[in-house]
Each structure stands twice: as structure tokens, then as C-alpha cells.
Structure 1
Amino acid sequence: MKKIAVFLTLLLSASLPSFAQQTWSLKACLDYGLQHFGSVRIAQYQQETANEQARQALGTYLPQVSATGNFTDNLKLQSTLLPAGFAGPEPKRISLGSKYQTVASAQLTQTIYDKAALLGLKAAAPNQKLADLSMRQTKEEIIYNIASNYYQVFIVKQQIALLKDNLDRTEKVLNVLRLQRDNGVIQAIDVTNTEVTYNNTRSQLALSESNLALALNRLKYQMGLTQDQDVNVSDSLLLRQTPQAEVNQFNAPGLVSYQKAATNLELQKLQLQRIKAGYQPTVSFTASYGSMALGNQFADGFRNFTGFGSVGLRLNVPIFDGFQRDAQYKQQRLTILTQEEQLRMNVAAFGLQFNNAQTQIQKASTSIQNDERTVKQAQEVYNVVTLQYKQGTKSLTDLINADNSYRQSQSNFINSLINFYQARLDLEQSQGTLLTFYNQL
């Protein structure tokens, strides 16, 4: 692995422009993305929303104070007829009230007992926990997406470096073959075959460079960078060290997706209790105080105020609501049963994902070891055949076959690298250890 790593590193460094530009390691990309990608801000807003919802729930059990003011101009006063003998021998019509009336008052209500409101206060903790879990899930998604795209960029760069090296080797062989053709040593068809290989390599190089541009654009998006910003990915540690992934025992409750579902279920059960609590009476304390001015002249409506006030207890007892609350209660029970069944299905899916990730990491680990040995062997064969061809002991067909085998082994090794890195990410995700993976970089 070390020889291959050194070889690939030298090729990569030779193919990159030598100008001063910031290089981004995987850790640097993750650090930037965790600070600047938009979903992080959305998760922060959700946390702040949960805090405000907790304050709102607490507010239902705090005193509610309001004040009102009212000025009335009775354009036509109500009148009544006094019967005869009450205010004289004849019936008499009199007006009731005053033309102008000003009232200012304040009211206070304090809940003493409301079971539904108390349960609302209890829901604040799981609601905040849910927002925190959403933040953790957001970070894990960012880590997964950035790392996956980073590996894609890095591997494509290795492919480009190998293709450039193959192109250079093929060009050198092609120059020799053209000279041999001109001297009549070989046939023109031998040169044409090598030219086809050369042109195919150039096409593969152009395709890889296009893929690199696309991969970089995806990486910049996942990091929260604008598309016009440059990103130079260079992390030789990925080649110097074979990636390792620690396989833990499957633990569904440790997954953020499981914890979110369990917390949601807890909130739904609290909502069921709140609906049931709606059958219970509520008790509240009330108090009011105000002042009123009356007069038949406009100015009298704003002077000589007379105060008034009251205190009391208010009892509200639900008796019959047309079975609405009963229907709400049954709907909520069905919602809980649905989420419980969904959670059981999710646990089975999480287990499947974990088992598949284990299988993939084992397969990828075996492939990368085999392909590493194959590259080394193919390189040795190519070097020997090249020397023997120059000495005239091997034919051109042998040289072309050795070259093709070497190219194929390089391609297989590159594919094994990306498969291994992706399998490691999938395993970390299935174990719920992406944050640990990030912290250990």
C-alpha cells in the first residue's frame, strides 16, 4: 500500500498547478460546512422555536392581565313608561342613563387548576429534546454528504493522475512504434492499435476532468460555498493510511432517527393525556377594577370618576360537547398505535442497513487488499515486459497486453478505494457514529 500511495501522491502533485491556493482537507471541509450550510441555520431556528414554545406553554399558567377603555355617546337614550300613581296621577315617560359615559377598567385572571395546561408545560422538555436531535441529525447529514462528495473529488483526482501517467507512457511507446514502422520493423496496424489506445485514454481523461468539475460543484454546494469559489482538495492522509472502520454492536436506541421517533411518540402520548384532561373542570381566580364617569354634558364624561371592583373564582365544568372530545381521543390513540408500529418497522430497517453496511465494508476491505496486490504485480509485469520488448525478446502484443492489464488493475484499485470510503461512511451512519468519525479526523 505504501508504494502505491507514494506513486499516486507523486502523480497527483505533478498534475496540479504550482500556484498559491488554499487546500482543503476533509476536516477543513467538514468544519466549514457545519458552520455555513443552510440546514444548520434552519436547525438553530428550530431550537429557538422550541424555546419560545416552552415560554408560550408557561405563559398559560402565569397571570393574564388586560385593560380596556370605552367612551360612549348615547345619541338617543332608552326610555321607559312609569305607570300612573308611581310618580304622579298620570303615566310618565322618563329617559334611562346618561348621554355620555366613560369607563376604564383592568382585569386579571390567574389559572389555579387546569390539567391540560399542566401537561402542556410537561411537553416543553421533549419538544426541546426533539429540536436538539434535529440539530444532531442535520450535522450527521452534513458530515455524510460532504465526506461522500469529498471522497468522490479525491478519487477522481487520482483517476486523472493515473490517466495522465498512462497517456505519457503510451505516447512514449507510440513514438518508438512510429520509428519502428518507418524503419519497416513493424506494420502500420500496430501503430494504429496503439493510437486507438492513446485516443481512448485522452477521451477518458476528458471525461474524468468533466466529472471532477461536477464533483467539485456538488462538494461546494454541500459545504455552503458559492459556485464561483475555488476548492483545491488535497488530503494525502487518505493515501498514506488505509481507512479503518470500527464495527460496533447494533444499537437502535443510539441512532438519532430512533431517538427522534421515540421523542415524537412521547409527545403524542402527552397530547393524548391533554385531550383526556379536557374532561376535567378548570378553576381560575378573577379580579377586576375600574372607574366610570357619567354625564349629560360632554365634559362630564371625563370627570367625577367613580371606582368599582370585584374578585371571584371561576369554575368551568365540561358537560357535553357532542362527543367531539371522544372522537379526538380515539383519533389520537390511533395516531400513537400507528407511530409505535412505524417505530418497530424502522428498527428492523435500521438493523438491515447495519447488516448490509457490515457486509459491504468487509467486501470492500477484501477488494482493496486484493487490488492493491494486483496493481503491484501488474506494474512489475509491465516493467519486465517493457524491458524485454526493448531487448527484442517480447512481442508488441505482449507489451500491449501487459499495459492493458496494468491499466485495468489501476482502475480496479481506484474503484475499490471509493467503494471502501463509501462503505465506511455507510457503516458509520448505520451505527450512529458519524459525529465520532468527524471528531477523530
Structure 2
Amino acid sequence: MNKKILLAFIFFVPFQLFSQEQWNLKACIAYGLKNNRNSTVYENEKRAADAKAKEALADYLPKVSLTGTLDNNLKVQESVIPGGVFGPDPIRVAFSQKYNSNAQAQLDQTIYDQSLLTGLKASKYNKQQAEVNIRKSEETIIYNIGNAYYQIYVYREQLRLLKENLGTYRGQVNIFKLQVEKGVTLQKDLDKVTVDYNNAISQIRIAESNLTLSQNQLKYEMGYPISSALPVDSVSQQDVAIHIDATNSNDLASPFVVGNRVDYRLSEINARLLDIDEKRIKAGAMPKLTGYARYGAVGFGNSIGPAFKDLSPFSAVGLKLSIPIFDFFRRNAQYNQAKYKSLNATENLKLDEGKYELEYENAKTKINNARQNLESDSRNIQLAESVFKTTDLQYRKGVTDLTEWLTAQNSIKESQNNYLNSLFSFYQAKLDLEKASGNLKTFYTSL
């Protein structure tokens, strides 16, 4: 008795552990958001945007530079003092020696540069752009994982239905084999059913291959090791019914908000960046004021040693005003380019608003149609199965022939194919609607 309990425990515990490891859609998406390589790429882009903002700010911060030189004057330059200054004749004199050392430190501080001030405004939008790109990457991951996950469910449903059909054909083949052996049925009737039986086997192989491909696709979208097993928790028939019932016209009646679309928000940020660039180029025509402070020392000597010993210090502070005058044509051409790019970005923003609203309205229409088709095709399977049961009973009683039996069975297969197509179309339309409304993250959190 104890051995039986132990064996039951050994077989039961692994099954429980396996069942706990089933991955539902939310778990798959959560894993993908953490492990998909695109997440790392866009996180790095965000860090790059932060660094770019610091770079832009650095242009308005003090700059300190150190310079040092040592000249070996192979031939010392001489100057001439005209005659009559220190005597009647001109005097040649060198104001330097063979070696000349110079070291200085200089601090430069931009006091006013409207071009830089305008450019600093772009830093905020560069950060926003990086953050929105992360959001876009997350939505892409959610959409792709959802699509692959639902494909797995559809192929599993297809396999389930195909195996049911295979069982029906197998049973009929076995019956016909006995009848052929007894001589009450023709071989051609057995061959007809055997053809459909073999076709069902081929279709199962194709569905199994498609299931494997969709599982690999899901692993790829999640950033999950391809070679590792991923026990996906299929959506049950009850869940499908709940999803269909939940997707009604009331849920789709919420107003469309174009600002929820990450693509639109990226276009908005791009338009603002182009507007800032236009103003920055225009500000380049304004004067620039810079302050500086300098301190250093200079030394001379006929050998290297004295050039570094007897140093004469010097220092200076001052202001530098730069007024661009003769670069008007170049700057004006740049300004016009930036202006028209900014105008086009504004127009494209208006076009995008209409385009995204159109996508949303089309997505609503598609999911309504998909829901109705799925409900209709689901009922058609039940009707086809009911017709087949009646036809099968009539065939067994000899009231109808094999052609009617095969026709009824083929009607089941046709209704099943329509159902599977409608099922995937429904899930595809659901994801498309969430994407069109900009609510993919809300969809994920609500799972």
C-alpha cells in the first residue's frame, strides 16, 4: 500500500510542477519585455540621449585649457633699431634667445550665445524621444508576442480537430476493411475513405510543423533560448468565448485619442526638434560674447635649463565679442532648409492624425466583423457535426451511400477550416485594435 502511495506521489509531483510552469500570455510578454534584445538597444539610446544633453550643456559651462611650448630657435630672429635712437648707426638686436619656453592656463566662459541657448531646448525633446522609442519597442514586443502566442493556440486547435477527424476516418477504414474481407463492400469505397485518412495524416504533419515554427517564433520574440522547452499554456475554449463576449460594440465606443499613439508622439517630438533647429540657425546671426582669463609664464635661455628656471609670469582677463557678417548666404540657405523641413513636419503631423484615426476606425470594423464571423463559424461546426451524425446513422442503416457520408465529413472539415481562420483573424483584429488605439500596454496589464 505504501509503495502505491509513493509511486502515485512520484508521478503526481512532476505533473504538478510542470503544470505550474505553464506560460500564459502575460508571463510571455513580461519575460519578453525584460529579455528581448530590442529593449537593451533602446535603453542604450536613452542613455545616449542623456549624454547628448550633457554635451549640449557643456558648451555653456566654463572651459579650462593648459598649453605649453618649447621652441628651439635654430636661427634667432633679429630686429633693427634705426640709427639715431641709441647712436648714429642702425643696431641689430635679438629680442629672444635660442630656447624659449611658454606655459599658460586659460579659462573661457560663454556669456551670451543665443544659438547655444536655443539648442539647449532640444535636450528635453531628445530625452522624450528616447523614452517614447522605449515605449514603442515595448508595444512592438507585446504585439509580436501576442501574435505568436495566438498562432500557437490556433495550430493546437487545428491539431485537435484534425486528430478528431483522423479518428473518424480510422474507425471507418477499419469497418470497411472487415466489410471488404466479407465481400459486402467494394474496394473502391475503402480506397475513398483511405485517401481522406491519409490526407488527414499529412495535414497533421503540416500543422505540427507550423506549431513548432510558431513556438520558435514566440521564443525569438521573447528573447527565450530557442533550444529550451517553453510549455505554453493554451487559451481554453472558455477563454475564447469570454474574449468574444468582451469584445462588443460598447468596448469599442471609446473616443479615439491620437496622442496615445507612440508613432504620433514621435512625429510631434520630431516637429518640435525641427522647429528648434530652425530657430537655432536663425540665432546664429546674433553676436556672441565670451569672457576669458589667462595666466602663464615665459622663459628664455641659450640652453634648455635656463629656459625653465627664470620664468616671467603674465596674466590677462578680457571679453571677446564675435559678430558674424559675411556668412549671410550660407546661413540663410541653412535656415531655409530647416524652415521647410519644419513646415513639412507640421503638415505630416496633420496627415498622421487622419491616418491613425482611419486605422482605428478600420480596426473597429474588422474586429466587429471578425467577432461575428467567429460566432457564425463556431455555430457552423456544430451544425456540420449534427448533420454528420445523422448521415452517419443513415449510412449505417443503409439509407444513404458513402458519397453522402464523405460529403458530410468534408463539410465538417470545411467548417473547421473557416472556424480556425476566423479565430486567428479575431485575435489578429484584437491586437490591431489595441495597437491602433495606442493601448497595447493597457492590454498587457489587463491580462
Could you say whether these structures have the same fold, taking a TM-score greater than 0.5 normalized by the shorter chain as the test? yes
Q: CA offset at residue 422 of structure 1? A: 0.4
Question: Are 1:420 and 2:426 matched, yes or no?
Answer: yes
Note if contact 2:119-2:280 (Cα within 8 Å) is conserved in structure 1. yes
What residue is the counterpart of 2:57 in the other structure? 58
What residue is the counterpart of 1:203 in the other structure? 202
Where in structure 2 are the equivalents of 1:226-375 lying within 5 Å? 226-237=225-236, 239-242=238-241, 243=243, 244-245=246-247, 246-247=251-252, 248-375=254-381
- The size of the alignment, in residue pairs, is 425
Cα displacement string for residues 251-272 of structure 1 (whole angstroms, at most 9, x for unaligned residues): 2222111111011101111111
Question: Are 1:186 and 2:192 matched, yes or no?
Answer: no
Where in structure 2 are the equivalents of 1:105-120 lying within 5 Å? 105-120=104-119
Note if contact 2:153-2:235 (Cα within 8 Å) is conserved in structure 1. no
In the TM superposition, structure 1's runs of 4+ consecutive aligned residues that sit over 6 Å from their partners are none
In the aligned structure 1, how far is the partner of 2:190 from the partner of 2:153? 34
Question: Are 1:76 and 2:75 matched, yes or no?
Answer: yes
In the aligned structure 2, how far is the partner of 1:86 from the partner of 1:317? 42
Cα displacement string for residues 64-113 of structure 1 (whole angstroms, at most 9, x for unaligned residues): 11111111221211113344444445444332212222211111111111
Which amino acid counterpart does residue 25 of structure 1 have in structure 2? N
What residue is the counterpart of 2:130 in the other structure? 131
Q: CA offset at residue 249 of structure 1? A: 2.0
What residue is the counterpart of 1:6 in the other structure? none
Which amino acid counterpart does residue 28 of structure 1 have in structure 2? A
Change (3 A) 1:415 1:84: closer
SS, match of residue 352 in structure 2 = helix
In the aligned structure 2, how far is the partner of 1:19 from the partner of 1:273? 63
Change (3 A) 1:176 1:18: farther
What residue is the counterpart of 1:402 in the other structure? 408
What residue is the counterpart of 1:5 in the other structure? none
What residue is the counterpart of 2:141 in the other structure? 142
What residue is the counterpart of 2:174 in the other structure? 175
Report the more deviating stretch, 243-252 or 53-62: 243-252
In the aligned structure 2, how far is the partner of 1:85 from the partner of 1:354? 96
In the aligned structure 2, how far is the partner of 1:250 from the partner of 1:360? 16
Which amino acid counterpart does residue 110 of structure 2 have in structure 1? T
Note if contact 1:283-1:316 (Cα within 8 Å) is conserved in structure 2. yes
Q: CA offset at residue 184 of structure 1? A: 2.3
Report the more deviating stretch, 395-404 or 124-133: 395-404
What residue is the counterpart of 2:446 in the other structure? 440
In the aligned structure 1, how far is the partner of 2:361 from the partner of 2:95? 87
What residue is the counterpart of 2:8 in the other structure? none
Change (3 A) 1:173 1:238: closer
Q: CA offset at residue 57 of structure 1? A: 1.2
In the aligned structure 1, how far is the partner of 2:352 from the partner of 2:230? 38
What residue is the counterpart of 1:93 in the other structure? 92
In the aligned structure 2, how far is the partner of 1:343 from the partner of 1:236? 39
TM-score (norm 1): 0.91
Note if contact 1:120-1:274 (Cα within 8 Å) is conserved in structure 2. yes
Which amino acid counterpart does residue 352 of structure 1 have in structure 2? L
Note if contact 2:125-2:273 (Cα within 8 Å) is conserved in structure 1. yes
Change (3 A) 1:101 1:238: farther
Note if contact 1:154-1:233 (Cα within 8 Å) is conserved in structure 2. no
What residue is the counterpart of 1:12 in the other structure? none
SS, match of residue 342 in structure 2 = helix
Where in structure 2 are the equivalents of 1:33-44 lying within 5 Å? 33-44=32-43
In the aligned structure 2, how far is the partner of 1:239 from the partner of 1:155? 14
Provide the aligned C-alpha RMSD in A. Answer: 2.0
SS, match of residue 256 in structure 2 = coil
| Structure 2 portions without partners, runs of 5+ | 1-14
Q: CA offset at residue 126 of structure 1? A: 1.2
In the aligned structure 2, how far is the partner of 1:94 from the partner of 1:223? 82
Q: CA offset at residue 382 of structure 1? A: 2.5
In the aligned structure 2, how far is the partner of 1:40 from the partner of 1:183? 68
What residue is the counterpart of 1:10 in the other structure? none
In the aligned structure 1, how far is the partner of 2:60 from the partner of 2:167? 79
In the aligned structure 2, how far is the partner of 1:423 from the partner of 1:306? 82
Report the more deviating stretch, 291-300 or 34-43: 291-300
Note if contact 1:272-1:329 (Cα within 8 Å) is conserved in structure 2. yes
Change (3 A) 1:85 1:339: closer
Q: CA offset at residue 379 of structure 1? A: 2.2
Which amino acid counterpart does residue 187 of structure 2 have in structure 1? A
In the aligned structure 2, how far is the partner of 1:396 from the partner of 1:29? 47
SS, match of residue 283 in structure 1 = strand
In the aligned structure 2, how far is the partner of 1:19 from the partner of 1:400? 44
In the aligned structure 2, how far is the partner of 1:401 from the partner of 1:19? 45
Note if contact 2:67-2:104 (Cα within 8 Å) is conserved in structure 1. yes
SS, match of residue 287 in structure 1 = strand
Q: CA offset at residue 425 of structure 1? A: 0.6
Q: CA offset at residue 140 of structure 1? A: 0.6
Change (3 A) 1:34 1:193: same
SS, match of residue 285 in structure 2 = coil
What residue is the counterpart of 1:46 in the other structure? 45
Report the more deviating stretch, 136-145 or 76-85: 76-85
What residue is the counterpart of 1:159 in the other structure? 158
Q: 1:381 aligns with which of 376, 384, 387?
A: 387
SS, match of residue 314 in structure 1 = strand
Question: Are 1:29 and 2:35 matched, yes or no?
Answer: no
Report the more deviating stretch, 255-264 or 220-229: 220-229
Q: CA offset at residue 392 of structure 1? A: 4.0
In the aligned structure 1, how far is the partner of 2:63 from the partner of 2:442? 48
What residue is the counterpart of 1:4 in the other structure? none
